[in-house]
Chain A
Amino acid sequence: MALFSVFQTTFLLALLSLRTHQSEVLSEPLPWAPESLKVSINSTHQCLHLQWSVHNLAYHQELKMVFQIEISRIKTSNVIWVENYSTTVKGNQVLHWSWESKLPLECAKHFIRMRSAVDDATTPEQRFWSNWSSWEEVDVQNSLGHEPLFVFPKDKLVEEGSNVTICYVSRSQQNNISCYLEGVRMQGQQLDPNVSMFNLYDVAFIRETGTNIYCKVDRGDDIKGIVLFVSKILEEPKDFSCETRDFQTLSCTWDPGRDTGLLKQLPQSYTLFESFSGKKILCKHKSWCNWQVAPESQEMYNFTLTAENYLRKRSVHILFNLAHRVHPMAPFNVLFNDVSVTNATITWKVHSTGNYYTLLCQVELYGEGKVIQKHNVSVKVNGELVLSGLQPDTEYSAQVRCANANHFWKWSEWTRQNFTTVEAAPSEAPDIWRNVKSVQGYCVVTLFWKPLTRLQANGEILFYNIVVKDLDRPSGLQLLSVPAPANRTELTLDQRSYQIHVTANNSVGTSPASVLVVSGDPGDEVEEERVKGTEGGFSLSWKPQLGNITGYVVEWCDRPRDPPCDLQWKHLGPNTTSTVISSDAFRPGVRYNFRIYGISTEMVPHLLEKKTGYSQELAPSDNPRVVMSNLTSHSFTLSWKDYSTESQPSFIRGYHVYLKSKAGQCHPGSEKAVLSDDSVCCKYKIDDPKQKTFVVGNLQPESFYEFLVTPYSAVGEGPHGAFTKVTTPDEYSPMLIRIILPMIFCILLIMILCYLKSQWMKEKCYPDIPDPYKSSVLSLIKSKENPRLTIMNIKDCVPDTIEVVNKHEGTGKSPTEPEAAKPTYLYLLPAEESYSGPGPCICFENFTYNQAASDSASCGHVPVPTKAPSQLGLLTSSENLLTALEKNCMNSLEEIPAGESSLNYVSQVASPMSGEKSSLPTNPPQPELCSEYKMQMAIPLGLAAPSSSGSSSLSSITLLDEGEHYH
């Protein structure tokens, strides 16, 4: 047991001795341990910079070593970073190492230590770590100052997507501090009572002026903040290339990509480095740079373009042979020589690129805006090319560009020039046609021609020559020149046949002639056929003609409704028997008429067929104007004679007659129809478009009807417009009219006959003024042959008194005039000498012979024997009478018809009226002769009428012999 104890004690002592030796060895600094470790900080970059040297390293000695560096935060035991830094160390060398902290250095204390080991093959025995250096403490907070609040890092610059840690340092633990990112409060992590940190992940670009972060004391107005500048990531330059145009300068271009967003805070630079020459230039522009080509004829170039800013560097490389990057300049002096009708020579020059290079030049010829020719030409200095196959009088454009023929890189820019070829005579005859009308025995020929196309005209057409040759009289020629751009002319010819030649002329020459024969013979009329058109046009076909036919012509009008119908025609070959006529002018609902002519070898057109049709039929747009007639109680007749079916928008197939009635019953021949307004009526169908009358029968008397006539075609019927109203008469009215009218006529005829008969009877039997000479009594007397009985002649009477009766009209009386007319007696003294009548006289007293003829302004006269003029002369002694005579007696006795005389016959023996006796003269003349009779005489009422100026109603006039005067 004791032996065991001794052995154990000895072992422990030996072990202790070994441990002691070992500790002594370790405590000794190794020959190459780090020493003089110094730590400095860079707050802006949040970096710790370490510098140290290696102990006992000889001046000339080089040793590959590894340095292990430990960094702790807040306390030494909190190691946050361990890194082995390997380097080759020379004698007395001061070594450096930097470390960037994620957390701002101001936010926490940092501790750094390191140890070293030799990592060199020459000294394998030293391959173990040295002792750790002592901890170096870095505490920036002590140097911050005395402000109550700090925020770190200051104005940091980061790229988009980075993670950033910020912190605040407060001097007072009692302060409650809040921090905000762009006004939004952040949640932080407290590092120690005075320090909190905030982690921002994947930061984004917000604006050029940065992202605002600030902290503030809740109970105070102190605010501290920083601005975090977030940059967009610098992109690698794209499309980097270099080329030369003159072998003196290389122009390098690239696309810099998107902007980083921070122009001032994060400027970026572009540098161009050429590795063969070792030259480097800083580019002034962000997308291009010029490099001077080395005069020593450097062929190969290896460029490195580097884009760089504070945060990132990007590079691209290109390697090329200068001869392969030639971009020639645009050709110049492009000219056209020897321009003819169909050819032209183009010449150009290129900029010199040295005599060692051949250029490939491309020539493009444009006509009417399209490339019509393309040529490639090899060129050293001057280029030349003949352009052929051109059209006369045509403007062309040619352009030239060139490129390196051996190593194509880029085409130069185009150089363009225009030219126009020379004119030539028209190559084609004009396409002609005619329209013939017969007017008063003459043929009026309208000659049409189509303008030549540009390719046919070969220049500007100046005029058209027309030669009209009389085929019956070969010597009869008519020449006509029509200036362009006319496309028609009118000729008046007689009924003979004429051959017409038309040529087009430009400044160079004349076209071939078009020939057509016009004949006065209108030819046979052919029947018109209907043809169905489509949107694509009218498909026409005709029977082939036997015999000598040189071709066909289809003729139509584009605007058949307009007076100049725009005649169109189409020439077709002799073997063609169908064609499609299409035109942009064709409109739906318009009827087009086509005439197909065959052209004989003598160029005489013969009408073969006529077609008519619509490109699209439309429903009739209007209804006929209907005239109603023969209205009876059971029927009426409708007619629409003036309705033209030719001018309708479709082929009229017939008519529908709609009849509305209250009864609503439809008779045989009609059918019920429901109109668009849901009204029911009867519909009569007329299938013949030429039938334009219709009798509506089976009507009820005294009934109200409405009717409408509308056409229909294959596509529909006309509009259902306003109905015409009609009411049938009653059944008996016509019969009554047929009976009553003749009866009335007969009665009237009888009445007239009776009247005429009564007049005749009156005239014969009891006239108002009996005429003794005309009296039938006279014939009776004569028949009894009693010669003693005769009719008294007025000449046999000797007048003694004239009674002048003043008759006053009821109206126009003067108030001073007496109420009643009073006769005035003119006592005529008998004069033996002047009395020439027979001795005895028979006087008739006829009281009816006092006509009121004075109503009329007729004139009377006094029928006195032979001396009447002298007696009138007596009368004229009275002024009143004279005036009356002058006014009234304008006619002589012979001039006054017997019926117009107004005479008062007064019986010579009649006693005056009782009322007038006192007014009579006291000594009235006593008649000596014919005392038993009273002489009748007539006196014009004009003479008896009182003077308008006279106031006396009673006067006495005595007719005296000559020489005696009126008293």
Chain B
Amino acid sequence: MSRREGSLEDPQADSSISPLPHLEAKIHQTHSLARLLTKYAEQLLQEYVQHQGDPFGLPGFSPPRLPVAGLSAPAPGHAGLPAAERLQLDAGALSLLPPLLDVVRRHQAELNPRALRLLRRLEDAARQARALGAAVEAVLAALGAETRGPRPEPAVAAAAAAATDAGVFPAKVLGLRVCGLYREWVSRTEGDLGQLVPGGPA
């Protein structure tokens, strides 16, 4: 039986042929997920801002873009890094985001218990960030790159919760920052994966 016809053979037995289509499919799939989540992240941010009231919805309102529990926005030099390194940064950020989103959701549940759609979006975002992070980790593994272990979620959550204790207004700003970070990192991940997709931007 020829190799082409063989369906009983282990597809991973011949590493020279099988992994490439598999990797492409995985990259493509992860990229599609990231693109979808980018749209959701934008919707989440709009919904969040709408419920906090002014000045959060005003265009001139720009609180300092400080790191949240050690998570910063993608650096300007992020695009210049090697692909594997970029994906490692993406995966790391995505692993930090779910506990932060959970903290924001809990705070909003206290502050705004009737905003059910916002609460659902925050819950979904935390779950989707985990899923995207895991998918990026899988791509990294398929690429043979080293994956960083995720930071312990409780530590991140504790750091974020401490920020919310400073007051309601800082907690609102924290939520805005977390939602913004989520959007930026998901969008960044989409861009980084897009460069790996065959036919995508170089």
Name A's B-contacting residues (CB within 8 A).
154-155, 180, 182-183, 206-214, 221-227, 229, 263-265
Contacts and interface: CB of A to CB of B under 8 A. Distances in A.
B177 to A, nearest CB: 11
A225 B63 CA distance: 11
B43 interface: no
A78 to B, nearest CB: 30
Contact of B172 (A180, A221, A227, A264): A227
A264 B64 contact: no
A373 B78 CA distance: 90
B113 interface: yes
Contact of A155 (B53, B168, B173): B168
Contact of A212 (B56, B110, B113): B56
Given A183-B58, A223-B64, A212 B167 contact: no
B54 A214 contact: no
A209 B51 contact: yes
Contact of A182 (B55, B110, B168, B173): B55
A207 B53 contact: yes
A209 B112 CA distance: 6
A207 B51 CA distance: 9
Given A208-B114, A264-B111, A223 B53 contact: no
A225 B64 CA distance: 13
Nearest to B64: A221
Contacts of A223: 63-64, 173
Given A209-B51, A212-B172, A264-B110, A183 B167 contact: no
Q: Which secondary structure dominates chain B's binding surface?
A: loop
Given A208-B112, A209-B52, A224-B169, 14 more contacts: A155-B167, A155-B168, A182-B54, A208-B111, A209-B51, A210-B111, A211-B53, A212-B53, A212-B169, A212-B172, A214-B169, A221-B64, A264-B110, A265-B111
A217 to B, nearest CB: 11
A456 to B, nearest CB: 65
Contacts of B15: none
Contacts of A225: 167, 169-170, 173
18 contacts: A154-B167, A155-B168, A182-B55, A206-B53, A208-B114, A210-B111, A211-B53, A212-B56, A212-B172, A222-B64, A223-B173, A224-B169, A225-B170, A226-B167, A229-B168, A263-B113, A263-B114, A265-B111
A229 to B, nearest CB: 8
Interface of B: 51-56, 58, 61-64, 110-114, 167-170, 172-173
| A180, A213, A229 interface centre (most CB from chain B within 10 Å) | A180
Residue of B58, B110, B169 ringed by the most chain A CB atoms within 10 A: B169
A264 B119 CA distance: 15
A264 B170 CA distance: 18
B165 to A, nearest CB: 11
Contacts of B55: 180, 182-183, 212, 214
Contacts of B167: 154-155, 225-227
Nearest to A154: B167
Contact of B111 (A180, A182, A209, A211): A209
Closest 10 pairs (CB-CB, A-B): A225-B169, A227-B168, A183-B55, A183-B54, A221-B64, A182-B54, A155-B168, A227-B169, A183-B58, A223-B63
Q: Which of A208, A213, A265 has most B Cβ within 10 Å?
A: A208
Nearest to A225: B169
Contacts of A227: 167-169, 172
A463 B61 CA distance: 91
B102 to A, nearest CB: 18
A214 B64 CA distance: 13
B169 A226 contact: yes
B66 to A, nearest CB: 9
